Amino acid sequence: MSAPDYSPDIIEKGRLLFARPFVFVKGCVRIADLPPMDKVEIAFAGRSNVGKSSLINALCGTSGLARTSNTPGRTQELNIFESTSAELRIVDMPGYGYAKAPEDKVRAWTKLIHQYLTGRATLRRVYVLVDGRHGPKDNDLTVMNELDKSAVSYQIILTKADKPSAEELKKVIVATQAAIAKRPAAHPQVILTSSAKGDGLRELRTEIAMLLES
């Protein structure tokens, strides 16, 4: 699957958007902790271990920005990142679907996410990360349902695209496209990324630059 033909101008805008460092601002466990709605926001959501921290770090070119870890389900906060040079805020949502997470944590997470997704006027798009080896799982579909219901624009990113074979990846792309085909708030274009190889980062940066332009 190839990226759309972007103009050199918008590709450059995407590059510049992430040319200056993003910094960690705060972790929010309650909606009341969130910064004022004064910047365009994009959020990253996905199952624990999908590669969300790695992707945010790769996107921003900062290795220690979001925590990468092999302890899934650890982060239960909305983590906020901002750049001094861009009117953009990145919101790293807690990873979901970790089987061993205590029930009260799952409940608190669900409530926080629900409140955030339904009440944030500056939230322009949610990037829903899906493992490129497996395609969407039930809890990914649940999140998509919620986004459709709340009319929050979202786009699927297939992560770890370096791991599956070309044939496996093709099947996952077809299954993912089928899963979003009739979803009103889903962006029709699926982005493939590999944080390990840097694939897809230019496309993602360009897409984000386009969001800021619109």
| Residue 70 and residue 104 in contact, taking contact as beta carbons nearer than 8 Å | no
Question: What distance in Å separates the CA atoms of residue 92 and residue 54, rounded to the nearest whole number?
Answer: 11
Is residue 2 packed enough to be buried (19+ CB in 10 Å), middle (13-18) or exposed (0-12)? exposed
CB of 197 to ligand GDP, least distance (A): 7
CB of 74 to ligand GDP, least distance (A): 8
| Residue 43 and residue 106 in contact, taking contact as beta carbons nearer than 8 Å | no
Instruction: Tell me which residues touch ligand GDP (CB under 6 A).
Output: 46, 48-54, 68-70, 72, 95, 159-160, 162-163, 194-196
CB of 86 to ligand GDP, least distance (A): 22
* Nearer CB in complex with ligand GDP: 7/71: 71
* Nearer CB in complex with ligand GDP: 68/139: 68
Decide: helix, strand or coil at residue 64.
coil
Smallest CA-to-CA distance from 140 within 28, 49, 4, 17 is with 49
* Nearer CB in complex with ligand GDP: 29/37: 29
How many CB atoms sit inside 10 A of residue 50's CB?
27
* Nearer CB in complex with ligand GDP: 13/159: 159
CB of 195 to ligand GDP, least distance (A): 4
